[in-house]
Amino acid sequence: MRHIFKEGQLDGPTLLLLHGTGGNEHDLLPIAEMIDPSANVLSVRGNILENGMPRFFKRLKEGIFDLDDLVKQTKNLAEFIDEASEKYQFDRNQVIAIGYSNGANIAGSLLFHYKNVLKGAILHHPMVPIRDVELPDQKQTAVFIGAGKNDPMCPAKESVELEELLANNGADVTVHWERNGHQLTQTEVQAARDWYQKQF
Ligand code: MLT
């Protein structure tokens, strides 16, 4: 996958950055800098192009995902993280995802399909990636969800559903609410940073 790797403390955390639809691997670099300037950064560009806009899996229309492709791309991403940890020599057990929108959805999908795939995840404006699957045990995983009470793309009740699904499978989930639609605001990133500093 097209990506940027920025080396920090190799034996410390690695931030896996996953952009929103139409973004790229450069978008979330300033956020990683705010969250943990000493971390390694693995920032990935989504493999799918939708009318020229990169994203991480196909969708049939807005909010309706191509679930076969979601499962396939989730596996690709999990394998890519494994390969990157060998290539760049970072600690595979300390990968913390930071995803926004479509990037948060594929990060959520990693947690819905694989155990021990992420140590933690900051999900900005995620949806429930897939329903009717049995989630793996996520007892070791800490998750921050940044959600909007008035987010037209990711309805508030879906954020609550995601929180419940993850928490019911053992994840330690914190939800932070905003009222700025689907936007990723400075206050939300600051809340994520405060959460990260307490957790890791
Ligand atoms: C998705 O397709 O993952 C969601 O609709 C959010 C987005 O458009 O990025």
The whole-number pLDDT of residue 169 equals: 97
The whole-number pLDDT of residue 65 equals: 97
Q: Decide: 40 in ligand 1 pocket, CB within 6 A.
A: no
The whole-number pLDDT of residue 181 equals: 97
85 part of the active site: no
Atom of ligand 1 nearest to the CA of 106: 3
CATH topology of domain 3-199: Rossmann fold (3.40.50)
Q: Which of 85, 101, 109, 159 is catalytic?
A: 101
Atom of ligand 1 nearest to the CA of 104: 3
Q: What is the mean pLDDT of the chain?
A: 97
The whole-number pLDDT of residue 91 equals: 98
182 part of the active site: yes
Structure tokens given for 12? 């410390």
- Give residue limits of the domains in the chain: 3-199
Phi/psi of residue 144, nearest 5 degrees: -110, 125
67-88 vs 102-113: helix crossing angle, rounded to 10:
80
The whole-number pLDDT of residue 41 equals: 99
> What kind and span of H or E run contains 59?
strand 59-61
Q: Beta partners for 123?
A: 99, 145
The single-letter code of the amino acid at 146 is G
Q: Beta partners for 122?
A: 98, 144
Best residue among 28, 57, 59 to mutate for probing ligand 1, ranked by most atoms within 8 Å of CB: 59
* Contact present, 41 and 31 (Cβ < 8 Å): no
Distance 61 CA to ligand 1 centre (A): 9
The whole-number pLDDT of residue 44 equals: 98
The whole-number pLDDT of residue 86 equals: 98
Q: Decide: 59 in ligand 1 pocket, CB within 6 A.
A: yes
27 part of the active site: no
The whole-number pLDDT of residue 17 equals: 99
Distance 23 CA to ligand 1 centre (A): 11
Distance 89 CA to ligand 1 centre (A): 32
Q: Decide: 152 in ligand 1 pocket, CB within 6 A.
A: no
SS3 (DSSP) at 158: helix
The whole-number pLDDT of residue 68 equals: 98
Residue-wise pLDDT tens for the chain (200 aa)? Answer: 999 999 999 999 999 999 999 999 999 999 999 999 999 999 999 999 999 999 999 999 988 999 999 999 999 999 999 999 999 999 999 999 999 999 999 999 999 999 999 999 999 999 999 999 999 999 999 999 999 999 999 999 999 999 999 999 999 999 999 999 999 999 999 999 999 999 99
Atom of ligand 1 nearest to the CA of 56: 3
Q: Decide: 109 in ligand 1 pocket, CB within 6 A.
A: no
The whole-number pLDDT of residue 127 equals: 97
Helices (H) and strands (E) in the chain, counts: 5, 11
Residues 6+ apart with CB under 8 A from 40: 5, 6, 7, 8, 9, 10, 12, 13, 14, 15, 88, 90
The whole-number pLDDT of residue 164 equals: 98
